[in-house]
Structure formats: C-alpha cells, structure tokens
Structure 1
Amino acid sequence: MENYVRNVATLLQPIPHSQNTYSSLYVPVALLGSATLRGGPTRGGSGRVAILFSLLATSAFNLRATNNAGAFDEVARTLRLKAFDWLQMALEELPELHHGTRDVCGSAASQMYESAISAILTLITADIMEGSMSEYQVHLNGVNRICKQMRDQSIEPDRRLVTISSFLTVLSDTTSVDLPPVPWSTTNAFPNSGSNMFTDDCNLEVTYGITATLANYIHQVTILSQNISHFISHNLPIHPTLLSACYEFSKTISSWSIDSENLACLPASNCNVSLGKIHILAFAQSLQIYFHTRVLPCTDTEMALYVQRVAEYLMEIETARAQQGRSLDVTASIMWPGFIASCEAEPDARDIWHEWWEGMQKYQIGNISKLWSVVKHAWAMRDEGLKEVPAWMPVLRCTGTKILAV
C-alpha cells in the first residue's frame, strides 16, 4: 500500500495536488477494508475489501518496472481476482434503498453503494496500469447503473465518484466505434442544459488536467456526431438546423480562452500552475481536432496546425518535468490530447510524436503502450492510402480493440 500512496496515486494525476483523488478518496476506505479483513468477513464490508485488493493490484502492476516484472505481474493478477471476488460479494450484499432516506440505516446503505462504486472505479485504474482495457466498458456501465439506482431513490452519490465516472464515460464515448445514432431535435436549442455534465467546482483541473467547460464541450461534440450519424444511417440529408448548430458550436469552441476559466483549484506552486495550464491548453487544441474529425471537416493546413500545437504543449510539459527533476513529484499527463492529435499527424510531422510517445513509456503505465500501438497502426493504415477520419476509427473497428485514452 505504501507504493500506491507514495508513487501510484501521484503518478495517475497530471499535476501534484494535496487533495489527490486517488489517495484521499480510496485509501481511507481501503484501510477500513484491511480492518474488516483482519476481523473476518462482515456484512457490508466487502466493498471496502474489494477496494483494498484493487489498490494493491494497481500498485503491483506499477512495480512490474522492477527486475521482478514477472513475479509482480502474477501477484497483481492474483490480487485483482481477489478484488473481483470481494466486489461480487459486495454487489450481492447491497440492500434496498428507500426514497430520500437520511437516517442512520440509510446512510450505511449509501456507504455500501458508494464502496461498490469505488471498487469498480479502482478496478478500471488497475486495468489502466496493466494495459488490458477489455473490461472497462462493463465496469463503467456497472457504475452508472448503481448511480442511477441511488438517484432513483433521491440519494445522491459522492460527488467525486460521479465526476470520475462521468468523465471516464465521456472519454470512453469519444473513442467508441459503436455509439448509437441520436435523432436531432429541431425544436430544442443546442447545447441544452442537459448536455452540461460538469460544473466549475468539480476539480477536473487537478484530476484530469481539463476544465469543466472543455469537458462539457467534448461531450457535446460527441452528441453532435451522433446526431449526424442518425441522418447518415438513414441516407438523409443533414437537417439545416443541425448544420447551423454545428457551425455555431465551432465558433463557441474556437472562442474559448483559458483566461475565462476559474483555475483557483490549481496548486499554489508556480510550476504546478504552469503545468496545469499547459495541460488544459493541450486539451483545448485536441478538442478542435476531435470536432473537425467527427463533426465538421477543416483544411489540411488547419489540422496540421492543431496537431503541431498539441505536440508542442505536451513536449513542453515533459521538458518542464525533466527540468524540475526530483523536486517535482512524478506525474503523467492524461493521454487523450496526445492520442487524438497524434493519430492525425502526417508523415512529416510524426517525429515529435514518436519522441513524445517513446518518452511516455518511462511512466510504466500499460495503457500508454496500448494507445501508442493504436497510433502506429493508424499511421500505417493512413500511409497505405486509407483516408478515413478519425484515423483511429478503422484500427479499432478492424481489430475489435477498445480503448480508454486516459
């Protein structure tokens, strides 16, 4: 557990932060799970034990970078299986929720549900560290289902858990090859209030290196792409009001400025504030790429400029980290900006991306290697003459690969 607290929890966030979600949210519950384990199984404590084993598995996957890679890999897989077993018990123990319950029993029930949610989310983290992402969609669906059960009874889950699961779902949707088409409403304005999933005080800046505004924009681009897919799948011309909404939204994301964001949650350290801002700017430029590959095309020159800007921002982050050396806790960038941008890089613009991806291997996060392999496959297919955009789409469709660019 010490390795998880001292190294892994910090590594998983883009900038060091005293209220690190991976430690402040999960570790206290895992320690309660340890006490439960020592005292013998008790009803209601299985979720906590599942979290404990999941964090230990994540830590063991991280330790594969040592000389005992094979041994740690085996230990990690065993611990993850134990986490699954305890999660299954936790799910079977979940009591019925009663509408608006606020008494002691209701609070205990809510905690059991939140422990189950936390256990599932930590299993996603373990998969990210290992690099095997075949189960993450099942995990996310499970989390969203439990959250809905709680909300149906007017019980709001821990907001931090909701933010994490919602943002992971948003990122998952951006690289899904089988999102369902969504009919376009000619009567409702776009974007509507229902498409704003995040508020300014949800601390996405320190957890994922993005602002609530940009996270909402990403989600809204996905919705527009689903609206367009509806017309394409029915061989219909795109409705003029949808086209108008797309052009207006293009203006919205192009007019975004980091100066309009409230970044008070960024750590006080000048270096960390700078890293946070650069990470946000990388997300903003990648958002442009995502929009132009999923909704409205742009010129090759514009696309090349967006791709180059993202590369420069991400390389600037790595340079700053290298210059700080041991004085800065080891953290790794969120991969979505780099993945979305590098897939669209033309051959003469790939050297910087090759350098960045190879440099990111030092963080020993298995998911980074998996994403890098998809990028290289996308480049190969593009060089063979396939012009489909986004470039990662045919790779995932042909191979059946599922990714979470986090």
Structure 2
Amino acid sequence: MTTRLAALAGAGVSIWLDDLSRDRINSGNLASLISDSSVTGVTTNPTIFAAALADGEAYAQQMKELKASGASVAEAITSMTTTDVRDACDLFMETYRATDGVDGRVSIEVDPGLANDTDATVAQAAELHRLVDRENVLIKIPATEAGIPAIRRTIAAGISVNVTLIFSTKRYGEVIDAYFSGLEDAKAAGIDISTIHSVASFFISRVDTEVDKRLAALGVEPTRGLTGASGIANARLAYEVFLKSIEDPRWEALAAAGGNLQRPLWASTGTKNPAYPDTLYVTELIAAHTVNTMPQATMDAFADHGTVRGDRVTGLIDPAHGTMKMVADAGVDFSDVEQVLETEGVEKFMKSWNELEETVRTALDEA
C-alpha cells in the first residue's frame, strides 16, 4: 500500500478516484488501486464518460449488440455507462461491506440537461438506481435550485445521493437541509434510514480559477497572498457549516434513528494553475469525515510527494473567514462567482454530454 496515501486515509480522508473506464476495470487497474493505493470509491461525470467512450475498443462489442437491438443513442449511453458503474460497484463491494456502506461507492450522474427540471431529475435518479442495481451506487444530482428539491425527494425514496456542483456555503446549507428533510420523509414512510448515504461535493480548483482571474482584472498583486487562496478558504468555511449541522437537534434525532453523516467531498482537486503545488487541494484540506476525489495525476503526485500534517481545516476556519473578507474587500463579488461557476458547471457537463452523444452516434453507425 502506498505509504503517503495510507497516511492520508488514516487522517480520516476517504480517497476516491475521479475517473472510470472499461479499460480500467478490465485491465485490473481499478482493482490494483483498491488493493495498493487506499482507493475506496469512484466518481464519474459526463466528461469522464465522454473521454472513456471516445478512446479504445473496449466498448465495441457492446456497441454492436446495441446497434443490433435497435437502441437509440440515449439508450446506448445509459446501457454502457450503467454497465461500467455496475461492474465498478462489484469491485468495491468488499470495501462497501467492510465500512458499513460509508465507502465502496461509485457515482453516476443524471443527464445534465435535466439540471433545471426537478421532476425529470427525480425520475432519472430512480431509473439509474434501478438499472445499476447495486446497493453501493450513488446517484449524482447537481445542487441547482431545481436540484435541491430533487435531492430531498430522491433521499426520501431511500436512494443514496452524491450532491454535485456546490460552490457556495449558502447553497451547501440548502443541500444539508434537503438531506435532513429527505431522511425525515424516509423515516416517516417507514424506510430504514441507516441504508441511506450521501456526500456533498464542494468544488475547489474552479473557485481559484475564477477568483484569480477577477483579482488579476482588478489589478490585485499576487504578492498580497489572495491568489490561489479562495478555493481552500471557501472549502474550510463549508466544513464549518458541516460541523454546525451535526450539532443541530434535527441531526441528533436522525442519527439516533440510524442516519448517516452526509460527508463533505472535495471535488475538482486537480490544480489547474501549474504555478500551484500539484497536491495543494489534498494537503490543505485534510480533515475527519471528508472525501477527496482525485484525478489519477493528483493521486500519483500525492503518492510520490504529498504530505500529511494533520487536520488542515478545523483549526483554520477563522483565518479562512479573513481570507474571504480580503477577497471581497479587493472587489470580488463572491456571490456572483458562485452563480457563474454553477451555471458554467452545468454548461460544461452539457457540452461533454453532447460530445458523448455524438461519439456514440458515430460508433453506432460504424458498428
């Protein structure tokens, strides 16, 4: 087992891989990451699947079968992606059972085109859950305005959820409320809430990319120390929200009934600015009850030279408030940053979904 990654896991961080492909599954790569690199879960998104299906022959046979059956492009995408997620779930089943369902999780996202349609999101979440047919699947639902009630209704139906595209502490508070409400609804309906799990994916590097751009436009010198500081500070404030939520009497009642923590998940943790340390968003966000989902390159970098210096969040919440105040005082409207990032996040995934559709359409034609 890689020593540095094992130390990270020992500090309370669940290490999930932000990638999945049939080649990873069939080659034994994913199995080796589980056994040797402390990897306890996988996240996927439309961009990941677009890259996977565009590369290699791993899907050729299934594509031929889908074409012969007369499958539409949408049906082919669903069939191929749910197959990969199901097979990955099977690889993680031992981890899932050993951790009582906390880890061993594989995420699959609803069509990003449904991000502003509550009813359609709820319906597809239920359908993906049915098709994957594994206890350890997480259905990813974006934390848009329409997504918040969809999260509550999906949790209420007993389906575990990975809430994605969270950029603001305000929206994160709404996500927590949706989780609590969903658990309360499920409990009232007689569902065993100990079987329901959730993570809340808070995006990191995209915050720095947007804020750094705005700081540069305002003429703020990098020497002021604000460049590359907002993503981590914002995440530390999110953790403060998490800590307060588990002191809420609502949560105490749910926990007594078997409810599971909705853990913060740090997403978008690959550094996009080459000037920043390549392990920045791992090293500086170590805290108990968190998940860090990493691209392979970030995971390899941490395995090679990452450092574990204990909890880098809880004791740094007050300075994080100071950082965000300085960013605001410099002229950055962070509420606008959050809205822009949420809108762009959905648009980027929709673009990837369109690319995925075109790739599958071409492959069906040529199968």
TM-score (norm 2): 0.30
The higher relative CO (CA closer than 8 Å, separation ≥ 6) is in: 2
Q: Considering fraction of residues, name the structure with more strand.
A: 2
Q: Considering fraction of residues, name the structure with more helix.
A: 1
TM-score (norm 1): 0.28
